[in-house]
Amino acid sequence: MPKFSYGNEEYSFDLSEIEKKPYSFGGHVEASPVLFWFDQNASLYKLKFFDRDDGGTAEEYNVTLQLDGSYEKGITKFYTKINANIRQSYLGWADQTNILEGYVSLNPSHSLSINMGKKALKWGKGYAWTPAAFLDKTKDPDDPDLALEGLANLSADYIKSYSGRLKTISFTPVLVPVYSDLNSDFGEKNMINFAAKLYLLLYDTDIDFIVLARGSRTTRYGFDFSGNLTPNFEIHGELAIIQNFAKKFIDNNGNLSNNIFNAKNFLLGIRYLTELDTTFVIEYYHNDTGFSENQMKNYFSFIDQAYESYSTTGNSTLLQQALTITEDNYGKMNPMRNYLYTRISQKEPLDILYLTPSITGIFNIDDKSFSLSPEIAYTGITNLELRLKVSILSGLRNSEYREKQNAYRSELRMRYYF
């Protein structure tokens, strides 16, 4: 144990206290009660609750435990992240445990790493949406910071640094196997899919070129960028080209149609921090794979007619048809074409320490419906985060947010980190 003298006093320290440990462990436990106010005239309420009566409100209680840990020895690193959730809702009790990530990483040199296992790649530069993240789960734009489950894959990262205008270049090839018991929700089974990303740091701007070869899904090409115009003003964007995308849609009489076309999805956004510690995040998202305003109106109209038929005859065949077309189609997070996302947060207003109020708005440009979510977060207790959030959904009849099952939603999140 080294010792040092200064004046008449002697100081010592233990080198083991500052040495990097080969392992790490952390996580959080969270309790989250939620209260829903239903819109019983909404199409999606009729579709989901046609055979039950749960009244105008419903409560839900969630308890979540998330653990993550790593261990390093030599050139090898093991990492895992596990999420376990228990939920009590109007559907009864449910529990689920997922391995969000679990992989081994080999680092034979500073320039090369090889990863095998379940890993979230986190491609794309968008905050609320990431249209070019072909190998990542879809974000929830109402809570985009939630940890996402990765795909089982084999990947490598090769990085090279330079001293000129091009400062860094990296190449990431990825193999994603899809079978009945492995990545089964990614697309067509019994396939090994190839994707790759080329990253450039050019003039202090991050740039990615992405490709997903045809396999379980159709061929896709992506591009994204992110750069600072000033130290407090960042601009980012993404472009995704999806070849031979197949879109199924329904008319108000229940007739199904299928359209195959090359889709172009793109996003453009900014992040700005003011001198008063106010943060603005604004994104425009064009979803070419989404439905037009008229196609959504036909879908809602069909649900209403199916519900009327069920109410009269007791026959739920048409509602079951509507449920089938909703899955992985109309039931996507944002099923239409044009959206505007805005989030404004203020750190410690009026010098109230550890308090951060914010408001998030998601506006459907096509049908003028929207979701508005004010919230307040408090972190004044060590390792504890408290967040209260209320969501308000509004719009005209036959618009996206007006026809969702909830008119309002409130949530209290109590999260303890360890």
| Residue % of the chain over a pLDDT of 90 | 92
Q: What mean pLDDT is predicted for residues 354-365? A: 98
Q: Which residues make Cβ contacts (< 8 Å) with residue 269, sequence separation at least 6? A: 126, 127, 235, 236, 237, 281, 282, 283, 284, 341
Residue 216 pLDDT greater than 90, yes or no = yes
pLDDT per residue over 364-391, tens digit each?
999 999 999 999 999 999 999 999 999 9
pLDDT at 6: 47
Tokens of 292: 């037009």
What predicted TM-score, i.e. pTM, was given to this entire model? 0.92
Q: What is the model's pLDDT at position 406?
A: 95
Token readout for 133 is: 């993240």
| 43-417 carries CATH number 3.40.50 | no
Give residue-wise pLDDT tens across range 218-239.
999 999 999 999 999 999 999 9
Confidence of residue 12 (pLDDT cuts 50, 70, 90): low
Cβ–Cβ under 8 Å, residues 64 and 30: yes
Asked whether the predicted pLDDT for residue 8 surpasses 80, the reply is: no
pLDDT tens string 315-326: 999 999 999 999
Q: What is the mean pLDDT of the chain?
A: 94
Q: Report residue 170 as tokens.
A: 């990296």
117 alpha carbon, distance to own chain's centre: 20
* pLDDT range class, residue 311, cuts 50, 70, 90: very high
Confidence of residue 182 (pLDDT cuts 50, 70, 90): very high
Residue 53 pLDDT class (50, 70, 90 cuts): confident
Indicate the SS3 state at residue 94. Answer: strand
Distance of CA 243 to the CA centre of its chain: 23
